[in-house]
Chains A and B, each alone.
Chain A
Amino acid sequence: MTRWGMVIDLDRCTGCAACASACALENNVPAVSREEAERGRSMNWLTMVHEVEGEFPDVHVRTYPRLCQHCEKPPCTYVCPVHATYVSANGIVAQIYPQCIGCRYCMAACPYTVKTFNWFEQTWSDDLRRVVNPDVSLRPKGVVEKCTFCSHRLQRAEEAARARDERLKESDYQPACVEACPAHAMFFGDFDDPDSTVSQAVVSRRAEYLLKELGTEPKVVYLRVRAPHAD
């Protein structure tokens, strides 16, 4: 079996948010207007979170990228009345846009608040519409969308590996955020492959999960910062 997942080393992550931009470009995630942003309708699939802890001058900042955790037991799939979201055989939590009826139950159920809703038709200028990523469909108004681990890249990589008559290698399939990360802080691979980078990394004592107590069993694992800041 294959179980795709991600490890993010927060000791390396610098909070630059290049991952968020790479995601937006790769997945044709549109920038919304100022008015819509003010109404909380921005469409980011990946958000850089910064939490300030302590009191000046003994203060430090906890930074981490938040994206769909691709849970083994995702609350969002349980509540979807039309099976528009499900855990696929390779572990990726999929979202079927034509199936979605826009009830937003999944958004309410997601404890990580990483799903976004298309409140309006995506707007692109004529020129920009012609240069969107052709591998990723544009979503219509009224459906929920979220991170797919760039599963369109998996499709291409699998086809290419089949054509070469080879097994899919870890380096063949990397989501856009992982590929871009300038700090080399994000790793992606198969948790069921004991030799994969992510399997090696996840046994670290620094490994932790967002809201682990909920039992959602995320497949995005964070490695804690190695030591508290001296200041």
Chain B
Amino acid sequence: MRLSRRQFVELLAGAGVSTLASSWLVDRVFALDAEGALPVAPGPGIESWAPTTCGLCPGGCGLEFRRIDGLPVGVRGFAPHPVNRGRLCTLPHAALQMLFSPDRVRRPLKRTGRRGQGSWEEIGWDDAEAMLLDRLRKLIRADSRTQLAFLDGRPPGLGRHVAAGFMRGVGSPHHVDAACACADRVGRRMFGWDRAPGADLENSRVILLFGFDHLETDGSPVWQNRVYAEGRGDLAGRPTYVSIGPRLLGSAAKSEHWLPARPGTEGIVAVAIAHVILEHRWQDQRFLEDHTDWAESGGAGEAGLHRLLTVITPSVAAEIAGVPAARIEETAGLFVEHQPGIALAGAGTSAAPTGALTFMAVNLLNVLVGAVGRRGTLVELPLLPLGTVWEPTADAGRDTAPNAITTIPQLTEALLENEPTPIDLLVVRGANPVYDTAMSRAMRRGLASYDRMIVVFAEQMTETALLADLVLPDATFLERWDMLTGTPLVPPGYALLQQPVIPPLFSVRPSEEVLARLCNSLGELSRVRFAETGGEQIAERASRGLFADRRGRLQGVPSPEAAAPAEGPEGFWRGYRASTVWAFDGIPASSRPRTQRIAMAPGRLLGLPEEPTPNALRELFSPRPLGVTERYPYQLSVFRLMHFRDGATTNLPMMMEQAGHWASIMWATWAEMHPRTAAEAHVGNGDLVRIASELGHIEVLARVSEATPPGIVAVPVGFGHTSGSTAAGVGANVNLILPSPLGDPLWELAGRVTRVNIVRA
């Protein structure tokens, strides 16, 4: 029931003072409405602040929500938090718009019409869970456990761990990471570490950013903004930032140097820098001999590293990347001279077909100069010691199997080709692959089949949820429990508590609770049993692992109560809830490579053919954009905005209003291009232009600027949704004109390199 203010006043006047005290009226005043939404009338106006961890990017910032009578009305950075120290980026300011969005999925929805038609029947949770359980039981009884796939958009942490338990319980290895895991994979293969390499940026003197957008979208932007800003002291003492990539606007604008490399060519620039380092014998020979397989990495059959470094000279790289050879040589000198330093590859590179190679090449630079395991260089971060929340009841297998589907291209191939296995049941959470990857079109085709069941946990209706058989309303990060590991870019490694600042609205249930309950409801069919199925109980059990681990402690504790967690796990839990941060005591000494040797041979890493020719090595790092030059003379560069990231926050009105500040364009997609490019295409600033690749076209506004290299057209992702009351129909989705390479697990979300032409619309 909802009451208007007028009805409320009338109610008070009519009821009189004596009635005011009655429980009936008190219930009316303070109760939640039938949907479990907001209180129906103002309360006594009591202010409180609730700390939690932001869930809008993997950065791991601490937030504090201001609540009036339990309703969140504002947010600020959580001052004691070591990651953001009370500061914020733009995203959390729109968190309340996300929580109260008119597009929230409020109850479980069952498809009644054709796929994608948008016809739904609201059903209860019991019916929804029964549908899912039926399908799971059928799979298990038919010995088809591996026909379940789970596409997971949650960042690493407890929520992901719960889903892993669910998958182990059912018995499928196909737990797919919706984010690109290039850094994790290459880092793991090269360094043998459990996580992607961490970076001690605070103590670095030179930072090479290969498509790494440190101030807007990669890593932990708030942390990196502070590190950058605190380094802006005297000119003599400041760290040197070098951005390598096609776009100046954004992070590169604040770097000391910008090497305007063509899209997808950052990797070959890194190899050429390595060539210069070796040519001048600037490498850390002792480190190479002690800690790497450098000596044997030139052998035949492994795409010999030494051969690669001989072939890719600065002039070869200059031809492919469009960066003058002299700038490459100068950058090599800077990197060596100003050590300690770090070279980082970011999402801007991982999305190119050369992505995995770029990560390998950039890490190779770090290894060559011995920038590993020292102050101001790459460091190893340990895995979080989470307490046990689920346990195997039978042979639960392993997390990974030889043919496990772990990336979106692999999943798309499985959906389209039934290889390596048919998928009978697909569960999606926190991801929108039909919209936000270069696999967009292929994924839509893959989800068209009626033979399989598609279940989507969604906070808001998305393009992917529209194709589901069952949509389950998931909790936003303001309504759920989680423990996040944060990004490895913020050492020494954290367990960041996410806790509800408001109970779940409507009929929303956190997906962790649903998955744990489903797993237990399978009874003996499940190979895993959860000790608890409530969100808070799961988180509390997980926190016992932190309590027992002596390598870290609670951080930034704001109250004496939280500072004395020595009274056992319960006291620790109370302290953790007040602090929200547990951290390792420092970068572990073990980050120096120990027994394992850093694997440097690209052939071994990437499975290349034996005896590669110089041309093959050269081709290896060439992004080969789709389309012929004569017809499509320009290269498309795709970039992300802090306000939208991959498009998950586009539907928030505040973000839509402010996202275009770099171009001074609101509520529309733009294409940045050089005046010469614009003149060739007979386009003026602000004109509506059609940008076409071999796969289709989009219409966007031209933003003509000297900040974009000639021959390149830069377009942001995040616009062109077909779902969402704010986002639908605004601008164009650039993913639709990008190629969709299938199958190669190392290319991840590859494909963001294509040629285009431009004509006035």
Contacts and interface: CB of A to CB of B under 8 A. Distances in A.
Contacts of A17: 90, 642-643, 658, 661
B654 A24 contact: yes
A133 B97 CA distance: 13
A183 interface: yes
Given A15-B253, A226-B235, A182 B97 contact: no
Interface in A173-196: 176, 179-185
B706 A21 contact: no
Interface in A44-75: 44, 47-48, 50, 52, 54-57, 59-61, 63
Contacts of B222: 182
A180 B657 contact: no
Q: Using C-beta atoms within 8 Å of the partner chain, give the interface range for chain B.
A: 35 or more
B256 to A, nearest CB: 5
A127 B100 contact: yes
B8 to A, nearest CB: 13
Interface string B710-721: 100000000000
A184 B249 CA distance: 21
Contact of B662 (A11, A50, A185, A227): A50
Contact of A42 (B45, B77, B100, B666): B666
B254 A15 contact: yes
B260 interface: yes
A183 B655 CA distance: 20
Given A16-B216, A231-B257, A56 B654 contact: no
Contacts of A158: none
B157 interface: no
Interface string B592-618: 000000000000000000000000000
A40 B90 CA distance: 22
Interface stretch (A29-37, A88-96, A111-119): A29-37
Nearest to B324: A57
Interface stretch (B224-232, B349-357, B432-440, B508-516): B224-232
Contacts of A60: 248, 253
Contact of B256 (A34, A38, A125, A230): A230
B669 to A, nearest CB: 12
A182 B706 contact: no
B37 A54 contact: no
Contact of A182 (B68, B225, B260): B225
Interface string A1-42: 000000001011011111011101110001110100110001
B258 interface: yes
A50 B232 contact: no
Given A50-B249, A59-B248, A61-B707, A25 B256 contact: no
Nearest to B238: A226
B86 A54 contact: no
Contact of B87 (A24, A57, A130, A181): A181
B253 to A, nearest CB: 4
B221 A182 contact: yes
Q: Which of B73, B87, B221, B657 has the most CB of A within 10 A?
A: B657
A112 B730 CA distance: 30
Contact of A16 (B38, B97, B642, B664): B642
Contacts of A18: 87-90, 93
A38 to B, nearest CB: 7
B706 A52 contact: yes
Given A20-B661, A37-B666, A230-B256, A52 B707 contact: yes
Q: Using C-beta atoms within 8 Å of the partner chain, give the interface range for chain A.
A: 35 or more
B107 interface: no
Contacts of A134: 45, 68, 73
A205 interface: no
Contacts of A183: 225-226, 228-229
A182 B667 CA distance: 25
B432 to A, nearest CB: 21
Contacts of B45: 134
A52 to B, nearest CB: 5
A227 to B, nearest CB: 6
Nearest to A55: B706
Nearest to B707: A52
Contact of B253 (A47, A63, A227): A63
A21 B74 contact: no
Contacts of A32: 657
Contacts of A38: 666-667
A131 B90 CA distance: 19
Nearest to B243: A231
A183 B96 CA distance: 24
Interface string B94-121: 1011001010000000000000000000
Contacts of B292: none
Contacts of A231: 256-258
A163 to B, nearest CB: 15
A219 B94 CA distance: 29
B215 interface: yes
Interface in A105-157: 125, 127-128, 130-134
Contact of A21 (B71, B257, B654, B666): B654
Nearest to B215: A14
B229 A22 contact: no
A94 B371 CA distance: 54
Contacts of B215: 14-16
A185 B654 CA distance: 23
B544 interface: no
A181 B249 CA distance: 19
B635 to A, nearest CB: 15
Contacts of A182: 84, 87-89, 221-222, 225-226, 229
A229 interface: yes
Contact of A180 (B88, B97, B664, B705): B88
Interface string B60-90: 0000000010011111110000001011111
Contacts of B254: 14-15, 63
A30 B90 CA distance: 15
Contacts of A184: 87, 226, 229-230
A31 B705 contact: no
Contacts of A176: 76
Nearest to B652: A31
A125 B674 CA distance: 41
A117 B249 CA distance: 30
Contacts of B658: 17, 20-21, 24, 44
Contacts of B667: 34, 37-38
Nearest to A131: B73
A3 to B, nearest CB: 26
Q: Which of A24, A30, A55, A182 has the most CB of B within 10 A?
A: A182
Contacts of A16: 89-90, 215-216, 221, 225, 642
Contacts of B73: 131-134
Lowest 4 A-B CB distances belong to which pairs?
Answer: A31-B653, A127-B100, A183-B229, A21-B93
Interface of B: 37-38, 45, 68, 71-77, 84, 86-91, 93-94, 96-97, 100, 102, 215-216, 221-222, 225-226, 228-230, 232, 235, 248-249, 251, 253-254, 256-258, 260, 642-643, 653-658, 661-662, 664, 666-667, 674, 705-710, 730
10 contacts: A14-B225, A16-B215, A17-B642, A17-B658, A20-B90, A24-B658, A38-B666, A50-B253, A56-B674, A231-B256
Given A22-B93, A52-B706, 4 more contacts: A11-B232, A21-B94, A134-B68, A226-B232
